[in-house]
């Protein structure tokens, strides 16, 4: 868990970790200059036993200042690593991190501005083949002809297909479909059970856990009754 604090000079966050074994919280010291890196993603992505966030390097002189901050769940330490080299010719860049096939990934939405509104013009998907190896970043595809997609402001990656030849993309917050980079085709899928058509929703992949949530709930109930 991270908490945000603000003063007249900077914005920073305090990280806390909850231990199921000890039933207690503790603060974690961040050695990566916490005030220098501002969080721009609220939801963490879990890869290689670490929670990852997109941050902005406020001390960088580069036009694109995005980096990835990782919290290692085993060592309870923070680290920073770079995204692949991004194209700085566009007015706006939106980076979406995710886990695909066990690998860390980032989907880069490039936008230009038309009449004050961002217009999506290119989408790149990068995959880090070997976790922690900056040289292993691989651009799986780059989409410049967006005519195959319905009206779309931004995309995010969800999961690979079983044969790893397609990726499930979420367009805006309401539309999902399989994109095949080999044939450059997009197949819309229908989500059943939503309260109404085109309902906005978020999708995330989760890891199996050996922790029984029902026992935690029972424990919380017992504490409330005591």
Residue 203 domain-assigned (yes or no): yes
Whether residues 98 and 210 fall in one domain: yes
DSSP labels, 174-197: TEEEEEETTTTEEEEEPPPS-SST
Q: Tally the C-alpha atoms within 13 A of residue 67's C-alpha that lie toward its C-beta.
A: 19
Residue 225 domain-assigned (yes or no): no
CB atoms within 10 A of CB 48: 15
Structural domain of 204? 87-220
User: Which residue in 134, 114, 115 sits closest to 126, CA to CA?
Assistant: 134
SS3 content of the chain, % helix, strand, coil (to 5): 10, 50, 45
Which of these three, 55, 82, 109, is where a domain ends?
82
Which of these three, 82, 104, 130, is where a domain ends?
82
Residue 183 domain-assigned (yes or no): yes
Whether residues 50 and 127 fall in one domain: no
Whether residues 57 and 100 fall in one domain: no
Q: What is the pLDDT of residue 113?
A: 76
Which of these three, 62, 82, 102, is where a domain ends?
82
Residue 226 domain-assigned (yes or no): no
Distance between CA atoms of 107 and 51, rounded to whole angstroms? 17
Total structural domains within the chain:
2
Whether residues 76 and 138 fall in one domain: no
Whether residues 44 and 132 fall in one domain: no
In the numeric block, which tokens belong to residue 140? Answer: 């799986």
Condensed to tens digits (0 to 9), the pLDDT of residues 51-104 reads: 998 888 776 666 668 889 898 888 888 888 999 999 988 888 889 999 999 999
All residue ranges of the chain with pLDDT < 70 are 1-14, 31-42, 59-64, 115-116, 194-202, 204-226
Whether residues 108 and 70 fall in one domain: no
Residue 164 domain-assigned (yes or no): yes
Whether residues 92 and 57 fall in one domain: no
Q: What is the pLDDT of residue 129?
A: 95
Whether residues 113 and 215 fall in one domain: yes
Distance between CA atoms of 35 and 120, rounded to whole angstroms? 31
User: Which residue in 144, 197, 195 sits closest to 175, CA to CA?
Assistant: 197
Distance between CA atoms of 207 and 44, rounded to whole angstroms? 13
In the numeric block, which tokens belong to residue 124? Answer: 């790149």
Q: What is the pLDDT of residue 199?
A: 61
Whether residues 121 and 171 fall in one domain: yes
Distance between CA atoms of 172 and 146, rounded to whole angstroms? 14
Distance between CA atoms of 72 and 131, rounded to whole angstroms? 13
Q: What is the pLDDT of residue 4?
A: 46
Whether residues 62 and 137 fall in one domain: no
Burial class (CB in 10 A: 0-12, 13-18, 19+), 195: exposed
* Bridge pairing between strands 77-82 and 66-72: antiparallel
Q: What is the pLDDT of residue 74?
A: 86
CB atoms within 10 A of CB 11: 13
């Amino acid at each position: 868990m991270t908490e945000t604090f603000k003063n007249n000079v900077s914005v920073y966050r305090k990280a806390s970790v909850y231990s199921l074994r000890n039933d207690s919280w503790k603060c974690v010291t961040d050695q990566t200059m916490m005030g220098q890196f501002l969080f721009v993603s609220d939801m963490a992505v879990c890869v290689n036993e670490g929670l990852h966030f997109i941050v902005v390097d406020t001390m960088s002189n580069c036009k694109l200042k995005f980096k990835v901050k990782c919290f290692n769940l085993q060592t309870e330490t923070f680290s920073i690593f770079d995204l692949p080299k991004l194209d700085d010719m566009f007015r706006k860049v939106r980076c979406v991190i995710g886990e695909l096939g066990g690998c860390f990934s980032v989907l880069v939405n490039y936008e230009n501005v038309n009449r004050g509104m961002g217009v999506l013009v290119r989408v790149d998907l990068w995959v880090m083949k070997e976790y922690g190896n900056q040289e292993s970043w691989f651009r799986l595809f780059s989409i410049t002809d967006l005519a195959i997609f319905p009206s779309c402001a931004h995309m995010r990656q969800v999961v690979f297909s079983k044969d790893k030849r397609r990726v499930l993309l979420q367009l805006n917050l309401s539309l999902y479909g399989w994109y095949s980079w080999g044939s450059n085709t997009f197949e819309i899928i229908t989500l059943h059970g939503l309260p109404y058509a085109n309902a906005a929703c978020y999708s995330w992949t989760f890891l199996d856990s050996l922790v029984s949530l029902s026992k935690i709930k029972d424990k919380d109930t017992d504490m409330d009754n005591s």
